Chain A
Amino acid sequence: MEIPFVVNARKDTGLFNSKVAIWLFLASEVTLFGGLFSGYLFLRLYADYPWPERTLPVLPGLINTAILIASSMTVVFAWAALKMRNWRSFQINMAITLLCAAAFMVLKSIEYKAKFAHQAVRLESADHPVLDFAILEGHLHKAEIGEDGKLHHAQKDDKGNYSDEAFYANKIIFEADEFVFPLSRHAYGGFVDTIIEQAQSQVVPVTGALKSFFDSVEKNKSKLGKKELKQFEAAQKKGSILSSNLKNLLEEIKESKISEVSDELMALSEYPITLAEDFKLYEIDEDGKRKELEKKNIPAGESLSKSVIAYAEKYFLKAKSEDAQLRTHYLKSAFAKRREAGDDRDGWQIAQSPEFLELQAENAKQIKKRSYSAPGTITFKAEKPLTLHLDPGYVITKDAKQLTLRDDTTIKGTMGDSSMFLAVDGIDFRFTAQRAEEKGIAPEAAITKSWVLKQPELKKIWDSHQEWLRAHTEMLDAKSDKKGLKGEDRYVPTDNEKYRVNWDQIVAYQNYDHKGIYDRAKATINNEASEKCLEKPGWIAGFAGPNHKKMSFPEVTIPRENIGFESTFTPKWNTYYAIYFTITGLHGLHVIGGMIVLGYYLFFGRKMYESNPEWLANRVEVGGLFWHFVDLVWIFLFPILYLM
């Protein structure tokens, strides 16, 4: 059997099969992207926050546009080369097409990566007239708690490593004493894993008894294994060690008989979480009575593990199931009794009748006697407080003494300092201004009360910005006067200019006293001698964004109660980034798909070229049509995401 019109076109339609198919496929792709584009429109039109306009670096986007258009041309050249039976030219043009696609993806992934590493916080202050809603952008550096009890930028040692205590301060920190796990939500990995993992990686300071013990081991350290030696040396240097490493090290010291290890020392390495009280199991004996199953009980003191939870959970479900069977049986019998007694009303009427309720009350007594009544939770205790770092998204409710996690796990203990430590490279009051206007408050008045301006370093930047804005506004006024513009036609600063301080501005303002900014801004606008001007980033730096390794930015500690919402610049941050990632991600997948198909023709097409070059040309034509479509989508994406 042979399918007709695979290679040659059918006369009355003028098309070969795959050409019909690709046009149909592209039609469906149009509606797929159409759905996403209308999503963009909908979200933008109905956004209740200031839509981020022109936030993406335009230049790489523009380069990508050029790259895709170029590749759309070379793919046609490749097809034409095949039609002319010029294999070499086909290879060259197709290779250029693929290189273009690869370059596109590289630029795209650089853009993505910057977003994933960039943090944003929407502030919230209960006493602010519009709840603040100022936005800080920045970079999370590893932080340490200094001697003053405050968060500081963590310093690297000479090898370029952070100490064990250094952490990214964006989590909820909690000193946990007690854990109450629900018994039905742990399948496929609940928070038990996280807790066990963190219990093994607590930071143990090398001080006191441990320090003197380490010093005593120092001279025999050559007897340690390679891995342990490394851990030992690192601990000496940093003055701290992770509990799991310490345990491993102490055991090695004990085994290789370098030194005796006391139980007190061993205890330093352990953060045991143990069952608070016996988890009792029951069975129903032949007489229908509840009886304790002592041998299978989980005794108090059993340490927390996934398998203990699974065991308890399994029993809980079994008991629940037995109880359900029992109650089902009694319920059925109650209905049967009523119907035998001649009650022929509808079920819902029987269920409300006093006779039925009486029967059920009687049954309840029976059920109580024979029920397993398994507890729905299991409680573990930490013998010494365990420092947990929890993702804020997983914590539903928090107060000073207790946390509830999303899966109903309850943790008791003491709330730690869960502040965020952020190097600020963007201040944005547009949301504050919008909310103030909605409430009929002057935006400037609302901004003045923001938490941001209570931070001296940020206040200084904001004051500098006002100076710059003054110079900028004067420039716009002069421009309007020159053109003779009146009323609404006059140039005014945009919201972006008024309410947002960008990273390059922060860099420029930081070096000078804010009072001098006005003159410098004037000088910059008038293109005067360079030493008086504000620094402007070069175009490469403009494309790469804030470089936290080379530039310094003001660092602030944001208390947890002032964090309204926080995220990196991922789909979570707002609907703009959601649609940006979704639509460009899907487009990227199309680019990759196209690369695979076109690459297949380039690298594995030779055989077909020799046997049936026309067929290969058809395939390249169809692949090329798809490639044009991918290009076309980008041509629509570039303006709506980068320029508008």
Chain B
Amino acid sequence: MSADSHDHHDDHHHELPFWQKYIFSTDHKTIGIQYGLTAGAFLLFGFFLMIVMRWSIAYPHEPLPGYLSWIFTEDWKARWLADGKVTGETYNMFGAMHGTIMVFLGVVPLGFAAFGNYVTPLQIGAPDMAFPKLNMYSYWIYLVGGLIMCGSFFFESGAAKSGWTNYSPLAGYADRQFVNQLMTGQTQWLIGLVCLITSSLLGSVNFITTIINLRAKGLTWMRLPFFVWAMLVTGFLLLLAFPPLEAAGIMQLMDRMAGSSFFMPTGLYSKADGVLDISGSGSPLLFQHLFWFLGHPEVYVLLLPAIACVAEIIPCHTRKPLWGYKPMVWAVIILGFLSFIVWAHHMYLTGMGPVISTFFQTTTVLISVPSVILLTSMLISLWGGSIRFTMPMIWAAAFLPMFGIGGLTGLPLAFNLADLHLHDTYYVIGHFHYVVAPGILFGLFAGVYHWYPKMTGRYMDNFLGHLHFWPSLICMNFLFFPMLTQGMAGFHRRWYNGGDAYLEKGAEGVNVFGLTVLDKISWNEVMTASAIAMAIFQLPFLLNMVISYFWGKKIENDNPWDATTLEWATPTPPGHGNFTFDPAVYRGPYEYSRPDHDEDFFPQWEEPKRSQSSETPAPKEETSA
């Protein structure tokens, strides 16, 4: 502990009032937890919407059962359900909002904002974020944006229902019958989105500045934990990819509110309105370009925090350095760059032309190289380690094959010929849900189990943990694997009735893979049952979070996993300002099982003994201004 530590902590003694400490807090840890809890709530809501949709897919002719419909008022049911059954319109609304909530309000805030906020400043030895107030605004703007989006469920128009991608001209035209266009779900979606983009902009500026400027003494770039690297790249993706979508959002807002035709083509006709009273000459393709310019980097914004968590957990719980740390760092940087030039592989079927398709096909195949480097390095890290099957490690271990399936099933979609058949089928849904649900969410679950002891001073319960993990793993696979085969059989991703209307027309229609809809339609019920079961088996997790907070096993010391990175050098839970000493870093992040060291881990902050001359001492520089 350095001598001048006292002047960093002189304001520790006076307690902040409740609202400042827990509500309008500027402490990155509190904000991280706020983000985590809010995102968790949004995730549960998005999950619920999905179960209603799955019911409609499996049992399109039957009313929603009581356990799904109790949440709706009778008025709402009268408006949006037909005799208790889910209508196509309602299915679209839930589908659009499921996607929106899961991506923009759930996984990104949980991965980047919650974990990033809590762990990053700790891992780099900073007292807080570079701009604590900005951090607070970022959270509140996010919350407001989320509530605006979800609030529109109560509107006459209902929430947005033009898909989470909000493609024009559908999205520009939707809810047109309402006199007051501002108070429609489709417009509110855009306003909410502008809030979310503003929030993520503030967040990413803050993260990158913090990582560049607030690293502890001696924490050089190649001594940064991989987690921090991943957050840095994620920050840049958010910083640079989101604003074009904001531009698109503003233009679509103009289309809806000011009657412009940015994305509305000439001669647009609808059965209800006839030829629309617009100037036309807009480009629907432009919206798709701007959307996917964000949309694809967004995939890596979702993914990198999960990889970041797993990359921290694997070395710690296998007692072995991360294999290929440097290649991983370079891979994640290259991944970041490449992710900006692959976007149009979402648009092979838009008729943008074979030359452009070929370019994006090439870059898309290229980006699998850094992805594979990341995954393989983590896989090889297991080799020869003394794996401790703790809860975080089990989740992290499951992440590897699950994300592997997700990644590999993406390869056929990268080729535009194969994509011609698979586009807009359940195959695509299966692919990206493998990436996001058993992939990313498992990685983030691993993170929760790993850092929970630092946040609360107690371990999460193992029994409940297993009760959460195993059923989740099984249900995930029963839910998502059939999607892949259904997709190959030609199941369209937007059939709200699961394909039975299609059966009436051509039940025997054989597809190119020799599979028919009739063969695969019974899987719908299995998948729906799995989804419901999966919901039930999230209860042990929720219980675990609460029970362990009060009665969980207390941790023995501040570094319960015997880890090496700086967050474990803080008191538990860390106070305002984080460190009780002036942190300095003497070595790389994953010094496990070093033969020249007595213990099997050598923390970054531990001063080297004089005899160990190979260690570089921390450079002597002032850290504070």
Contact = CB atoms under 8 A, between A and B. Distances in A.
Contacts of B82: 324
A2 B624 contact: yes
A283 interface: no
Q: Which range contains the number of A residues in contact with the other chain?
A: 35 or more
B273 A396 contact: yes
Contacts of B130: 3, 5, 17, 20-21
Contact of B213 (A17, A31, A191, A567): A17
Contacts, number: 258
A29 interface: yes
B62 A408 contact: no
A456 B272 CA distance: 39
Interface string A61-105: 000000000000000000000000000000000000000000000
B342 interface: no
Contact of A34 (B61, B177, B244): B244
Interface stretch (A221-229, A232-240, A347-355, A507-515): A347-355
Nearest to B498: A348
A573 B60 CA distance: 45
Contacts of A25: 201, 205
A577 to B, nearest CB: 8
Interface in A9-26: 10-13, 15-18, 20-21, 24-25
A521 B180 CA distance: 52
Interface stretch (A40-48, A251-259, A478-486): A40-48
Contacts of B479: none
Q: Which range contains the number of B residues in contact with the other chain?
A: 35 or more
Contact of B11 (A1, A184, A327, A571): A1
Contacts of B77: 321, 324-325, 328
A616 to B, nearest CB: 15
Contacts of B84: 324, 327-328, 331-332
A47 B281 contact: yes
Contacts of B208: 20, 24
A35 B293 contact: yes
A49 B127 contact: no
Contact of A21 (B61, B209, B274, B624): B209
Contact of A48 (B9, B183, B281, B577): B281
A440 interface: no
B61 A407 contact: no
B248 A35 contact: yes
Interface stretch (A459-467, A578-586, A595-603): A578-586
Contacts of A36: 247, 250-251
Nearest to A189: B180
Nearest to B77: A324
B177 A21 contact: no
Contacts of A579: 262
B132 A3 contact: yes
A76 B183 CA distance: 45
Contact of A3 (B127, B246, B283, B525): B127
A513 to B, nearest CB: 38
Given A320-B78, A578-B261, A28 B279 contact: no
Interface string A393-407: 110110000000011
Contacts of A12: 621
Contacts of B623: 4
Contacts of B498: 348
Contact of B75 (A3, A188, A321, A586): A321
A39 B279 contact: no
Contacts of A570: 258-259
A347 B277 contact: no
Nearest to B499: A348
A612 to B, nearest CB: 11
Contacts of A42: 283, 285-286, 289
A6 interface: yes
A214 interface: no
Interface in A323-339: 323-325, 327-328, 331-332, 335
A318 B73 CA distance: 11
Interface stretch (B91-99, B235-243, B458-466, B553-561): B235-243
A7 interface: yes
Contact of A17 (B8, B11, B209, B281): B209
B243 A567 contact: no
Which has the most chain B C-beta neighbours within 10 Å: A4, A8, A13, A348? A348
A406 B240 CA distance: 40
Given A2-B127, A324-B83, A407 B278 contact: no
Which has the most chain A C-beta neighbours within 10 Å: B58, B59, B183, B241? B59
A332 B85 CA distance: 10
Given A13-B213, A393-B259, A586-B250, 6 more contacts: A28-B243, A35-B246, A188-B178, A348-B498, A572-B258, A582-B250
9 contacts: A1-B577, A3-B127, A28-B201, A320-B79, A324-B81, A328-B81, A331-B63, A567-B279, A582-B250
Interface of B: 8-9, 11-12, 58-63, 74-75, 77-79, 81-85, 127-128, 130-132, 155-156, 176-180, 183, 201, 204-206, 208-209, 212-214, 239-248, 250-251, 254, 258-262, 266, 272-274, 277-283, 285-286, 289-290, 293, 497-498, 500, 503, 521-522, 525, 576-577, 621-625
Query: Which 4 pairs across A and B sit closest by C-beta, in order of nearness?
Result: A35-B247, A328-B84, A35-B244, A1-B577
